[in-house]
Amino acid sequence: MSDAVVPHRLEPNAQASRSGTGWLKRALDSDIFYSFRRSRMTMVAAAVTILFFLLAIFASQLSVQNPFDPAQLQLMNSRISPLWTAEGQSPFLLGTDEQGRDVFSAILYGLRISLVVGVLGVVLAGTLGITLGLIAGYFGGTIDGLILRIADVQLTFPAILIALLVNGVAKSVFGNRLDAMSTLAVLVVAIGLSFWVQYARTVRGSVMVEKNKDYVAAAQLIGLPAPKIIFRHVLPNTMGPILVIATINLALAIITEATLSFLGAGMPDTMPSLGTLIRIGNNYLFAGEWWIVAFPGIALAGLILSINLLGDWLRDALNPKLR
Amino acid sequence: MLAFTLRRAIQAIGVMIAVGVIAFSMFRFAGDPVNQIVSLDTPAAEREAVRKSLGLDDPVPVQFARYFGNAVQFKFGVSYQFRQPVSNLLMERMPATLELAACATVLAMVFGILMGVYSALRRDTILTKFFQAVSLIGISLPTFLIGILLIYLFSVTLGWLPSFGRGDVVRIGWWTTGLLTLSGLKALIMPSITLGLFQMTLIMRLVRAEMLEVLRTDYIRFARARGLTTRAIHFGHALKNTLVPVITVAGLQFGSVIAFAIITETVFQWPGMGLLFVQAVQNVDIPIMAAYLLMVSLIFVTINLVVDILYTIVDPRLRSTISRPA
């Protein structure tokens, strides 16, 4: 983190271009990029992850129909097997389900929902956990004990159980008929509340180390307010492990969302995520229509596997002790 | 030692009371329970009588004390869906879940330890690479996908194993077991594998890491110098010393095996507590949700407490650090 000191009175343009190229050069020269290039598996995993994100972003451009629009579905097209099988029909690359919905398009839209819930869930869990961890580590004392106790208790319960409970409670508060967008919000909250503990504990640990260093004492000495010291000066020094946790948590959050949807406690059939698609497809497995469940399943497994591989690599790359 | 045990026990009771508050407050979120009981055209006076008889006019702390008091005696009220006492439903379903969880844990321990030891001793063989690939899959594939895959392979395609249910069960007292019939055993295979795979990967990675660490220690080097056979060194000395943390983790994980059984039971329509809970969440059946939460928490808290206490008995080094509070 040896930041080149940028002089204060530079032209805004010059400053931007300078820090821009400097940033790129530093990134390409860094140890992390070197270890990235050394690991072929990681490069493949990164490419697959980026591909999945692009597929999700451009879902509406890449799909042959909008699978959520009943007007675009035709029952004539129902239960077509994938293109390369004997009964395959273009343009339905991966076949269709019982409502004539193109499986490939449904996967693209489902991927979008899975990723949105996963990313927002991780952001919420991270914000909550980092804030609580910073507070606990910086101030210590009673508030530290309280946060730590709550974290301890929550850590004994698996995330999926907490997420199911939050979901159940939300259903009982708002009634059983939640619309799709509110369900999505409930899922994000459920995931956020189940995964904050790890961030809080990690951040607390690093803050306890950081706060005894000279730069914090110096900041306190010149009279900076505590929030400014915490967020501007201590937080950036705890970011390494947080990045690793966030990556691995993204995979866990996507699994959790898919599991909840599979159990029927997540996204509804009208706005399916990958988990919902697998639940729907599972009903047709015995009829021999394997493609309705197989392709969403492969997409989900591929996504999680590549994110996990990235997370594993990041953990090793950021932690030289493990090498 | 006694002080430590007591302090941990008080902490455990505190956690249970906190969980009780959560379970109790779910009822308060769920709207007026009187509406669940009476019909639409019941006169107001009668509603009032029902309310009185349920004690809903009492202050909230009194209601909580009553709920918790009943829960301690295993009375959780009546399920909204089934119109049966929740405790009966849970007792009926518990043997199925416990049998499944126990089988999965045994499976995970046996194969996890075998694979872990092998991949620590033969680090660069093809089989080790294969085990590591399996463990990556075990962590990356969601449980329900593994279940679906197994069903498609062994039930739909090959027709070897049943895809749902428990098979024939034998009743022993209030306990029902599927372990004594052929169809019961056959029905147990796929759910146990599905449930145990994640634990297996966890145990395998742990055993491997611990073994590698132990094999580097001085006493192993000394054992080599004494000219002991490789077998005696690996299994008599190294493995024995890795087993303490492995058993701890496996014990602690038993709670989450029961929680993860929710997913496995849904995939295989296994008639256990987890399936009951999922159906309760879908139908907003609060008495069952609350009771399940309390039961599972009790199992979790008990396991944690027992493991903590056993640890201090087994490992005297921990005792000295604990009895001297920092």
- What are the tokens at A79? 């239960």
What is the predicted pLDDT for the residue at A69? Answer: 72
Give me the amino acid identity at B33: P
Phi then psi dihedrals of residue B160, to 5 deg: -85, -40
What is the predicted pLDDT for the residue at A125? Answer: 93
CATH number at B155 reads 1.10.3720.10
Q: For residue B172, list its beta bridge partners.
A: B175
What is the predicted pLDDT for the residue at A3? Answer: 45
What's the mean pLDDT in A198-203?
88
Q: Is residue A83 part of a domain?
A: no
Q: A186: closest CA among A96, A237, A124? A: A124
Q: Is residue B68 part of a domain?
A: no
Per DSSP, the three-state class of B78 is: strand
Number of domains in chain B: 1
What's the mean pLDDT in B249-267?
83
Q: Report the mean per-residue pLDDT for chain A.
A: 80
Residue in B closest to A294 by C-alpha: B149
Give me the amino acid identity at B315: D
Of A157, A171, A259, the CB nearest to B263: A259
Q: How far is CA A305 from CA A70, A186, A310, in A?
A: 33, 26, 9
What's CA A104's distance to the chain center, in Å?
22
Q: Say if the Cβ atoms of A157 and B15 lie within 8 Å.
A: no
Instruction: Determine if the pTM surpasses 0.90.
Output: no
Q: Is residue B209 part of a domain?
A: yes
The DSSP secondary-structure symbol of B83 reads -
Q: Is residue B317 part of a domain?
A: no
Q: How far is CA A254 from CA A234, A266, A296, B93, B141, in A?
A: 30, 12, 13, 30, 11
Q: Is residue B49 part of a domain?
A: no
Of A158, A172, A259, the CB nearest to B142: A259
CATH number at A239 reads 1.10.3720.10
Interface probe with A: pick from B17, B97, B136, B140, most Cβ of A within 10 Å: B140
What is the predicted pLDDT for the residue at B229? Answer: 83
At a CB cut-off of 8 Å and minimum separation 6, what does A238 contact?
A: A202, A203, A206, A207, A210
Contact A62, A55 (CB under 8 A): yes
What is the predicted pLDDT for the residue at A7? Answer: 45
ipTM for the complex shown: 0.77
Q: Say if the Cβ atoms of A168 and B18 lie within 8 Å.
A: no
The C-alpha angle A225, A242, A244, rounded to 5 degrees, equals 165
Tens-digit pLDDT profile for residues A133-144: 888 888 888 888
Q: Helices B143-150 & B182-215, crossing angle to 10 degrees?
A: 130
Residue in B closest to A256 by C-alpha: B142
Chain A CB contacts of B156 under 8 Å are 285-286, 288
- What are the tokens at A40? 């072929």
Number of domains in chain A: 1
Q: Is residue B99 part of a domain?
A: yes
Instruction: Decide if pLDDT at B319 tops 70.
Output: no
Q: Is residue A276 part of a domain?
A: yes
Of B22, B286, B293, the CB nearest to A172: B286
- Band (pLDDT 50/70/90 cuts) for residue A152 is confident
Instruction: Decide if pLDDT at B182 tops 70.
Output: yes
Q: How far apart are CA A305 and CA A301, in angstroms?
A: 6
Tens-digit pLDDT profile for residues A209-257: 888 888 888 988 898 888 888 888 888 888 888 888 898 899 989 998 9
What is the predicted pLDDT for the residue at A272? Answer: 84
Tens-digit pLDDT profile for residues A64-77: 777 777 777 766 66
Provide the total of helices (H) and of strands (E) in chain A, helices listed first.
Answer: 13, 0
- Band (pLDDT 50/70/90 cuts) for residue B316 is low
Chain B CB contacts of A304 under 8 Å are 140-142
Interface size between A and B, measured as CB pairs under 8 A: 102
Burial string for B28-44 (b: 16+ CB within 10 Å, else e) reads: eebeebbeeeeeeeeee
Chain A CB contacts of B282 under 8 Å are 264-265
Q: Is the bond preceding B61 in cis, omega lying within 30 degrees of 0?
A: no
Q: Is residue A78 part of a domain?
A: no
Structural domain of residue B220, as residue ranges? 86-276
Instruction: Decide if pLDDT at A301 tops 70.
Output: yes
Structural domain of residue A310, as residue ranges? 35-73+98-318
Q: How many residues does chain B have?
A: 326
